[in-house]
Every structure is written in structure tokens, then in C-alpha cells.
A and B are shown apart, each in its own frame.
Chain A
Amino acid sequence: MNKTFNTPKIKLAGDCAIIVDIGDSIHPEINSKVHDFCSTLENNKPTWVREIIPAYKGLLIYFNPLEIEFSDLNLYINENYNKISKSATLNNKLIIIPTYYGGEFGPDLDNVINHTNLSKNEVIKTHSSVNYLVYAIGFSPGFPYLGGLPEKLNTPRLKNPRIKIPAGSVAIAETQTGIYPSATPGGWQIIGKTPLKLFDHNRNPPVLLNPGDKIKFEPIKSIKLYKTLEKEISLNKYKIETDEI
């Protein structure tokens, strides 16, 4: 199976950036190579490379055009593409996201129940039974683009987006599921909430999840337990739970 390009496709994004695509679809195999490519470039980063932003199927590379000719830039991309090393970041760890489903933390759980014709328990069980892949981080600070939502949970967006979705909200929109790291407006169906902080600028790195990570939601049994976890997290006493895959 060869889903990735033999040579990367390079497109201009203005005079200081390029898009480098190595595939043309959303696929775990392509995405995994994107992140390996990204860390290969990061490990061999000349001064004229300013920033690299990985996404689903390629990278955005900001560079300084006054320090490098295009032909040399092409060479740098292609050479590194041919020596991608499976990065050390390859991990078999599964990060557990404790989540309270429904109630005041999941005001749209009923919408999902109605749309999918599943029971409350079935929705929760289905959502928390699979592993999700973090394809990319973007849109807003620490927001994970997750892949792997079981098809039977697909639910359209709200007709009227909310002005404010609380930080930590776990939500569904069409074929996607996600976690809001900070309070933002949004039209996704909120089914629960995690007390974990996905983004904290005082932390290094500021994000909890990195591209390539795999996560799993784990239902929190009671509000009381949620509050206990929340307190432990705020006191820095909580250790992120992981599982072997």
C-alpha cells in the first residue's frame, strides 16, 4: 500500500511560506509520515527555516526567502523526505481523557441520542470504547483534530452555534469529535466535559496532546468524582493516565 507521494508536492503560500504535501487524503499512514517528516526536518533545521506546522497530509513551512534560493529549498525538502526516520516520538501509549458525559456538562447529549436512536449508555459506551488519533493541532491553541469517531455517532452541527463553549467540552460534529481547550464560540454538539487542561501557556510544552498521539475517553462516574479530579488537576497533583495499546 503506497498512499504517500514518491516526492513531496511543493506549493507557494506567498513569498515566505510553502505548503509541502506528501499525500492527498486523511489517512493514519499518511499522517504518521507527516509527523515523522516534520521531526526529521526539525532535527535538521537550518536558520532560514522559521516554523513548521504539520497538519493531516502535509506541512506549512515558514522560511526566510532572503537567506535561501528556491532551488536549495526544494533540495532541502526532497533530501530530508528521502531520509525520514521513524521518530522517537512513535509511542504505543494511549492517553486517557476522563470525561463526564451528559448533564450540565453535556447539554447536547440528548440531541445525539435522538439523532442516532441509541440509548444514553450506548452513546457513552460507543464514544468511549475506541481509540482516537490526534491528526493535528490547530484552529485554536491546543485544539486536537481527532480521527476515529464511530460512524453511528455522526450527528450534524447545532443549527444555532453557541456564543461560548466552556473549556474542556467534548463534542461531536458530523464525522468528527473534539475537545475545546479554551472557551470559544462553536456549533458542535456538546456531549461531555473533561477536567484536563488541554492548553496551559505556563506549561512546557503548553499543549497536553501532540500530533500522532492516541487518546481514549473514559467516563467519569459522578459529578463528585469530576470535582475531585478537577481539584487534583488544579493543584498539579493529577498524573495523566496512560494505557498500553
Chain B
Amino acid sequence: MKSNQKQKSTIIIEEPGMLSTIQDLGRFQYQKFGVPTSGALDSLAFQIGNILLGNSSNNPGIETTLSGPTIKFKSNMWICITGAQSSPILNEKKIQMWKPIYVKENSILKWGSLNWGIRSYILFNMNMEMEKIMNSYSTNTSLGIGGYKNGLPLQKGDKINLINSHNSIPSLNNNFNYTKHYIRQENNITLRIILGPHDDYFNQNEINKLLSSEFIITPQSNRIGYRLSGPEIKHSKKSDIISEGGALGSIQIPGDGQPIILLHDRGTTGGYPKIATIASVDIPKISQAKPGQVIKFKEIGIEESISLLRSSNQILHNLNSIYNTNYFINIENTNKIITIFDKNKNEIASTKKHDQIKQYKSYSLNAKYKKKKYSFKINIG
């Protein structure tokens, strides 16, 4: 059985959507040269999608913005869509998010209504066959670095070549529950913050103003930063500092007193005072927020922030140990059987013979393997 030979495939961008870019977790070790990290803004949704597919959590995928791209798949593969509730549609039928979906060749992915969030992630159980720039696939559109070509967002007609990276099948016990493990999908956003590094540029009144007021996300918000509009936060000293590095999630206050939250495409250094920094676990929340939405800030201590990060990390770690599989699948329409192999290519389960393997159906397989019982559920897209 040829269950794990190297396999190549292509996906074609038929319509690009508003801003669809290739991202991984980011470009690290180059910030000292002035190169921003970039990377998936909602790294939680991005990593969960990869984990559900049995991928390494840094496997590149596509980040959508508001409207997703129309994609044609040139051969069979597994995909998983996470992040914003964007009603993905495969060949005219709605498919589930947060579940590995087996996509058959010549299928077309489109999108329905956007019900929450603005950035979805399309992940594949294959790697992308393109040049890494400074050790990352991430696209930085403002600097023209990385991605499919010269830092450009995906465009109509782009053909992305994929290559099988591991060939394992995702999620044998496919009961991932995003309401439990992902951020709460609500429209009232409270971002937890840690004061500093330059809170001493503001007196207590101004800090209280930041903590008690509502701010509106302006349309001038993007992957570099989110610009907010609200009461003016006044500096007690100067409104500039001697330029220095700025961390992810810094809330900087420029001269006009309107906060800017710095995100993944931010310049590596800057000269505005940063009154506070968003807790790492709340970066996905701001990444999914859209212009017009109202946000509030809540101060937490560094210990609490780290403990939240520890829990979030533990969840990813646990998911990884559940979903990182060593099983391979073979779906053959000609044989009309779905078979699962272990990494030594031993068959461990198969369905009974079907008249044909139909789209949009789930197939259940039960198997006993090394004295353990497994039930497999395969969703055919």
C-alpha cells in the first residue's frame, strides 16, 4: 500500500478575498536588524488548526481578513479552518470549522456570512513549497517581505504548491470543542494589561482614565497596529522617549493622546511612551476585533498574566499530545474503502466496502490496536 509516499499538490486562488496572506508563527532572530516578526495575529487559532491536523504548530497557513479567498484544490488533502466564524462553504455546502476536513480534488472553498471575528486561518496537512525568507513564510505586506511572492497578499490566479510534510491523518478522536479551548467569542472586549514600561510618563489620573474609559477601534487599524479613539490620555512629561524596542501588544500613546496597540508587523523600535502592554493571552482577542468595536482595559499583575499564559500553553500542549498522531489514511474511491495504517504501514482499521465514498458524509471506523480501542471519524468535505 502506498500510504505515505511524498505527495505534491496545488491550490489555486480564484478570488483573493480582502487581504489573504500566508503566515506562520513569525520571523524571529531578525528584530535586531530591524525586521518585524510578522506571523499569524491570532496565533491561538492558528496553532490549534495545525495541531488538529497533526502538524507542527508552525506549519504555514493562510490568514484571511473579513472576506476569505475562493480556493480550488487540485488534489485530495486535509484542511482545517479556525479563527473567525466565517461560514466556510465547500462545493456549495457548509462545512464545519475546528475540524479536519478531507477535501477532494477540484473542490472549491468559498465563504458565507461572517458571524464573529475577522481573521480565519486555513491550514493544510501539507507544507508550502516556497522560499522561506529569513527563516519564515510570513508575509509582511507593508515591507514587501515573505509570503507567496515579494510580500504581496494572495492574488487572483496565484498557484500555491504544497508538499506532503508528514502524511499523517488528523484527529482520531475528533471531539475538539472550541468553546472550551478557544477565546470566548463575544463582542464586548476587555483586554487585560500589565502597566509599563513607561507608565511613569503619565500621572495616576491618566492611568485611571485608560482603565475606566471605553475606546473605539478606528478604521486605521491593521497588522501593524490598532489605533483607538477615546478620551485623550495626557503625558505628564514629554510625549516622546529615546527610541527603543517595542514589545508585542504595547499600548503606545503618541502626542495626540490616542492609544495605538502594536501588533505583529510593528516596527522593531519606536519613540512613543508605552503606558501598558496587553497580556499575551489576550492578543488573539484584539486580533479578531474590527473597526467600530468598543474595547476596555483591565489591569492585572504580572503573576496573573504569566499564570494565564501557562494555562493557555498547557491546553496547546495537551491538545498536541491528543491529536499528534502517527496514523496514515488511505481513501480510495476505486476500492470504495477507507483504510487507516500505522506508521509502519500496518493496516489497523478499515470501513466496510461502500458503494461509493460520498462527499459530506462522516465515516466511522472502529479498531483495536495494540490492545487499545480506537474510534475514527472521517469527515469527507
User: Which residues from chain A sit less than 8 Å from chain B, CB to CB?
Assistant: 11-19, 25-26, 50-60, 62, 65-66, 70, 136-143, 145, 181-182, 199, 201, 205-207
Contacts and interface: CB of A to CB of B under 8 A. Distances in A.
B174 interface: no
A14 B243 contact: no
Contacts of A65: 306, 309
A53 B32 contact: yes
Contact of B145 (A16, A136, A139, A201): A201
Interface string B28-43: 1111111100000000
Contacts of B35: 141, 201, 206
30 contacts: A12-B196, A13-B196, A13-B197, A14-B278, A14-B279, A15-B194, A15-B279, A15-B280, A16-B280, A18-B197, A51-B28, A51-B32, A53-B245, A55-B243, A62-B31, A66-B306, A66-B310, A138-B243, A138-B245, A138-B267, A138-B268, A139-B243, A139-B267, A139-B269, A139-B270, A141-B143, A143-B34, A145-B243, A181-B34, A205-B33
Contact of A60 (B244, B267, B309, B310): B244
Given A55-B244, A56-B242, A60-B247, A140 B143 contact: yes
Interface magnitude class on chain B: 35 or more
A140 B267 contact: yes
A51 B29 contact: yes
A56 B243 contact: yes
A17 B30 contact: no
Interface in B271-296: 274, 277-280
A44 B48 CA distance: 34
A48 to B, nearest CB: 13
Contacts of A142: 33-34
B309 A13 contact: no
Please list the 5 inter-chain residue pairs (A to B) with the smallest Cβ-Cβ separation, ordered nearest first. A60-B245, A138-B269, A14-B277, A53-B245, A17-B247
B313 interface: yes
B130 interface: no
Contacts of B145: 141, 201
A201 B243 contact: no
Nearest to A11: B197
